[in-house]
Chains A and B, each alone.
Chain A
Amino acid sequence: MLSGRIRGNAVRLGLTAVPLAFFALFFAYPVAAIVGRGLKDTGRWQFGRIGEVLGRPEILDVLWFTTWQALASTALTLVLALPAAYVFARFDFPGKHLLRAVVTVPFVLPTVVVGTAFLALLGRGGFLDELAGVRLDTTVWAILLAHVFFNYAVVVRTVGGLWSQLDPRQEEAARVLGAGRFAAWRRVTLPALVPAVAAAALMVFLFTFTSFGVVQILGGPAFSTLEVEIYRQTAQLLDLPTAAVLTLVQFAAVGAILAVHAWTVRRRETALKLVDPAQTARRPRGAGQWALLGGVLLTVLLLILLPLGVLVERSFDGPGGHGLGFYRALRSAEASGSTFLVPPLEAVWNSLRYALVATLIALFVGGLAAAALTRRAGRLVRGFDALLMLPLGVSAVTVGFGFLITLDEPPLDLRTSWILVPLAQALVGVPFVVRTMLPVLRAVDGRLREAAAVLGASPVRVWREVDLPLVRRALLVAAGFAFAVSLGEFGATVFIARPDNPTLPVAVARLLGRSGELNYGQAMALSTILMLVCAVSLLLLERIRTDRSGEF
C-alpha cells in the first residue's frame, strides 16, 4: 500500500517536472540573465543602481503614470462593464449569445490591433477628427478607452459568469424577510459577488499595468508605461542597467498583484450555492430594465463595434476611393519601400504557423501542469500555480531580449531557429491553458475516477476514459485562447522575429512606424486580417465553450 503512495508522488513529480523545466529554461533563465547583465559590473552586483535609477525624475514619472493609468483604466472598466455583467447574467433577450461573443472578441485581439483601431478612430485624420475635429491620440483618454475596450470582457465574463449562477431565491428570501430591493441586493448578492469583482479588477489592473502595444501606439512621446520604458531603454537607448531595474520593479509589482489575486480566488472557492444559469435569466420588465439593456447595447456599439468598424473602413479607404488597394499592396515587398524584405502578406502565414506550434507547446506544457495541479492542493502546489501566472505580467520585452542573449550558444543555440518565436509565444499561452483547464479538471469528481478504477481501469485508462472526455471542451477552449494569444503576442516577438519572417503584429507595428498614407493603409488592412483571424477562432470557440471553463 505504501508503494502506491510513493508511486503517486512519483507521478506528480513527473507531471510537474516538464513544466518546471520549461519555465526554468525559457522564462527564469532569460529574465535572470538580463537582470544579471544589467546589474552586474565586472563580476560584482551593483545593487546601488536600483536606488539610483528609481531616484531619477523621469523614471518616477513613468512609475507614477503606469500606476495611475492602470487604476483609472480599472475603475473605468468596472463602471462600464458591471452593468453589462448584470444584463448578461439576469436578462434574456434575442441575440444574447452573439452579443456575448462580440464582447469577448476584443480580449483576444492583439494589442497592436487595438492600438491601430483606436488610432483610426481617435487619431490624426481619424474618424472623430474628420467628423468633429476631435483628436484624442495624444491624450491619455485614447489609452484609457483602449484599455476599457480590451478588458470589458474580463469583467463581464468573470463577474457575469458567477452572477448568472447565483440563486435568485437567495435575494427573494431576503425580500420576504423584509429587505427592500436594493437592501436585498446589497446584503445578499453583493457579498457573494465581491470576490469575483475583486479578481476581475485585479486581472484588469495587471493587464493595464503591463500594457505595451496599446501605449506604444497611442501614447506617443508623452505617455510611457513601465513596459514601454523597458523597451525604449533596451532597444533604443541600449541602457541595460536601467531596463534591468525596471524589469525588477515590474516583477515585484506583478508578483504582489498575483498574490492578492490568488488570495481572492481562494476566497471565491468558498461554498456558494450555484444554480444553472439558464434558470436565472428572464426577459427585462419595465422601462428601467429596458433602459439598462439599451444603455449596455449602446456602450457595446460605441466602445467595441465602432473602433473595429472604423478600422475595417479605413483599410478599404485608399487614395482613389474605397477599394482593395491596400490589401493588394500587401502582396509585394516593394510597395512599402524598404520596410520589408518579403511581401507583408507572408506575415499572415508566418503568424498562423508560429501560433499553431506555440499552441501545441502551450497545450502540452499547460496540460501537464494542470494535471499536476489537480492532484491534491498543498502549499507547494499553490506556489507552482502562482508561478505559472507570472508570464502574464512579467515584461515580455525582457523575455524576448533575454532569449536573444541566453539561447545563443550550444547546446541551446536557437538564435537562428524559427522555434524561438513559438517558444516565447507559448510562454504567454500556458497560463491561459492552465486557467481554463484547472477548474474543469478540479470539478471532475474524484470518485468517478475511483469508480472507473474499481471497474478495472488502470490509471492511464482512467485518465483516457474519464478525465479526457470530460475536459475535451475545455481543452479546445484552451487551445483557442492559446492560439489567439500567440497570434497577438508582440512584446517578445518584436525582438526575436527575424526580419525575413515577421509576424502579423510585428508587421503592423513596423508599418505604423513609417510615414505615408500607403503604410498607414496597409497597417489597417493587415490589422483587419489579424482581427478576422482572431475573431473567427473565438467565434468557433464560443460555440463549444461551457460556462464552467475557467476565468477568461
Chain B
Amino acid sequence: MLALESATVRFGGRTALDAVDLQVAEHEIVCVLGPSGSGKSTLLRVVAGLQPMDGGRVLLGGADQAGVPVHRRGLGLMFQDHQLFPHRDAGANVAFGLRMHGAGRAERESGVAELLDLVGLPGAGRRAVAALSGGEQQRVALARALAPSPKLLMLDEPLGQLDRSLRERLVVELRTLFGRLGTTVLAVTHDQGEAFALADRVVVMREGRIAQTGTPLEVWQRPASAFVARFLGFDNVVDAEVTGTVADTVWGKVAVAEGEWQGPCELLVRPAGVRIGAPRDGLRCTVEARTFRGHHVSVLLRPERGPVLEAACALRDTPQEGAAVGVTFDVAETVVLAPAGEPSGK
C-alpha cells in the first residue's frame, strides 16, 4: 500500500529523516513511536506531500508520488491539534473533503450524518467548532479525515491532547472502528501505551532512523537496543559480558537464556524480574523509595555497587524504606541487548 524508500529530509545541518525504509500493507495499522524530535511527524508530512524530500521515494499503491501535489494524493491526515476550520460548523468540517471531491449536496448530507454517527456524535452537525469539547473535536477531526474514504489514514499524535481516561477509551474505539472499516492506518505518537493499544505493528524511531520494528508484543518483550528499552520505560540497563548462559555485570553474575548474543553488550532486567529477598540472598541493596502504582508498588533500590534498580513488588511483599534487602534476577524477565547493528541472539 505505502512504501518509503530511503526517504531523507534535512533541516539545515540536522537530518530529520535519514534514509528511512518503511512499508505499510493494506488494512494494516502501523504506529510510529518515538520521542519528540525523532522525525516521526516529518515522516507523515513527507507521505502527505507537505514536506519536500532531499532524497528517496514515496510510493502509494506502487505509484511514485514525486510531483503529485498534496490534494491529489487521496490521503487522510488527522493533525495533532485537529485543525478544525473555525469558521465552519462541525458538519461543514466533515463535508469539506467530500465537497473538494465534487460530491453533491445529498451525498454530502448523508455522508456527514453517517460519519458523525460512526464517531459517536449523532446530530452534532450544526454545532460550532468552538463549542465542542476536546474529545468531541477529536471525533469531528476523525470524521473529517475519514469522509473522503482515504487510501491511507494518517494520525499525528491522535490522542495527545486528551486526558488519560478519555484517551484509554478512545484508543479502543479507534482500533475497533478501523478494524470494522478495514482502514489502512499510519499513526505517530510518543506514548507507548497508545501505540501498543492501537497498532498491529510498531515502528520505533530514533534521530531520524528506525530503531526497531515489530508487533507490540515483540517490541515489548525483546527491545532491540538500550535506547528502545529506556524509551519503553525500562531503566534497569547495565553493561554486561555474556559467556554461554551467564552475563557478567556490576550487579554480579546474571543468568540469561540459551542462544543469546555472546560477548560485550548491555543487559535489561525488567522490574518484574527483580526479586526481593532476605539480605543474605544475592545482591545487597538498600530500599531508597517506594511508589504506589495501583496494582503493584515500584521500589527503588540502591545496590552496594552499580546503577540503581527498579523492582515491581506485590503490595504485601513491599519492604520498608531504608531496609536492607537481597536481590536476585528472574531469567525470564532478562533481555540481552546486542550492540547497535548486531542481530540479537533470538
Contacts and interface: CB of A to CB of B under 8 A. Distances in A.
Interface of A: 1-5, 445, 447-448, 450-459, 461-462, 465-466, 469-470
A1 B46 CA distance: 10
Q: Choose among A457, A461, A462 the residue with the greatest number of B CB atoms under 10 Å from its CB.
A: A457
Contacts, number: 76
A464 B77 CA distance: 21
Given A1-B66, A456-B71, A448 B83 contact: yes
A447 B45 CA distance: 11
B234 interface: no
A270 to B, nearest CB: 22
A456 B100 contact: yes
Interface in B86-139: 86-87, 96-97, 100-101
Contacts of A470: 86-87
B71 A450 contact: no
Contact of B52 (A2, A457, A466): A2
Contacts of A457: 71, 96, 100
Given A458-B71, A466-B85, A450 B50 contact: yes
A469 B79 CA distance: 21
A455 B79 contact: no
Given A447-B79, A454-B77, A5 B52 contact: yes
Interface of B: 48-50, 52-53, 66-67, 69-77, 79, 81, 83, 85-87, 96-97, 100-101, 144-145, 147-148
Contacts of B83: 445, 447-448, 450-451
B87 A469 contact: yes
Contacts of B48: 450, 454
Contacts of B67: 1, 3-4
A4 B96 contact: no
Nearest to B56: A1
Contacts of B72: 456
B87 A456 contact: no
A453 B85 CA distance: 13
B97 A455 contact: yes
A451 B94 CA distance: 12
Given A454-B71, A454-B145, 10 more contacts: A454-B48, A454-B50, A455-B97, A455-B144, A456-B100, A456-B101, A457-B71, A461-B71, A461-B100, A470-B87
A1 B71 contact: no
B96 A452 contact: yes
Contacts of A459: 69, 71
Given A456-B97, A456-B148, A457-B100, A1 B70 contact: no
Contacts of A469: 87
A448 B85 contact: yes
Nearest to B87: A469
Contact of A453 (B53, B71, B101): B71
A454 B86 CA distance: 17
5 pairs of A and B residues whose beta carbons are closest in the complex: A456-B100, A455-B97, A453-B70, A1-B52, A454-B77
B280 to A, nearest CB: 54
A1 B56 CA distance: 11
Contacts of A465: 85, 96
26 contacts: A1-B52, A4-B52, A447-B81, A448-B83, A450-B50, A450-B83, A451-B85, A452-B96, A453-B50, A453-B70, A454-B50, A454-B70, A454-B73, A454-B75, A454-B77, A455-B76, A455-B100, A456-B72, A456-B74, A456-B100, A456-B101, A457-B100, A459-B69, A461-B100, A462-B71, A465-B96
Contacts of A453: 50, 69-71
B288 to A, nearest CB: 34
B76 A454 contact: yes
A4 B69 contact: yes
Nearest to A462: B71
Contacts of A461: 71, 100
Contacts of B85: 448, 451-452, 465-466
A455 B50 CA distance: 12
Contacts of B71: 453-459, 461-462
Nearest to A448: B83
Nearest to A447: B83
A451 B148 CA distance: 13
Contacts of B73: 454
